[in-house]
Structure 1
Amino acid sequence: MEEIKVYMVKGTALFNESSFPTKQKFTKFVRALNEKQAMEYVYTYFGSKNKIKRHNIKIEEIKEVSPEEIADRSIKDIAELDKII
């Protein structure tokens, strides 16, 4: 069984494509088994929350981070858990 790791995904996305297109940078902390799964989560997250198409999301960097480097409080709390009941 693989261990779940925390990845930091950086990139840019095109928001408001139809009315007033705005390209914005993002940094998202993701719990995943590997880099491919982390990238897929970012695509689905921005697609469902902001209706952004995959071709409008450019991922520039994916790297594994240690628990001390995590900026997102909810991800950090989940990463520190030993087990979920």
Structure 2
Amino acid sequence: MSEVKIYRIYGFALFSHDKLPEWRKFVVEIRAIKKEHALEKLYSEFGSRHKLKRSHIKIVKIEEISPEEAMSRYVKTLSEITGWSYE
């Protein structure tokens, strides 16, 4: 079974491209098995939440981090789960 890793993705996104275009910085932490899966999840979430196209998202850097380095409480909590039981 594959181990889930945490990736921190740095980049820029073009918001309100039609009225007043503005490139904004972002840093996102995503849990994924491979770097490509983390990128796909990022594109999917930004497209869904902010209605951005892939061409409006520029990736600067992707790095794998340890669970202790994660800033997101959601990512930290998911990383601490070791198993589950059904009673």
TM superposition score normalised by structure 2: 0.93
**Root-mean-square deviation (Å):** 0.9
Render the CA deviation track for 1:10-48: whole Å, top value 9, x for unaligned. Answer: 100001112211100100000000100001111111000
Residue 33 (1) aligns with residue 38 (2): no
Aligned to 1:66: 66
Aligned to 1:14: 14
How many residue pairs are counted as aligned between the two chains? 85
CA distance in 2 between partners of 1:62 and 1:70 (Å): 14
- 2:82 partner SS: coil
Unaligned 5+ segments in structure 2 are: none
Question: Which 4+ stretches in 1 moved above 4 angstroms?
Answer: none
- 1:46 partner SS: helix
TM superposition score normalised by structure 1: 0.95
Identity %: 40
CA distance in 2 between partners of 1:79 and 1:15 (Å): 31
Residue 75 (1) aligns with residue 72 (2): no
Unaligned 5+ segments in structure 1 are: none
Larger of the two Rg values belongs to structure: 2
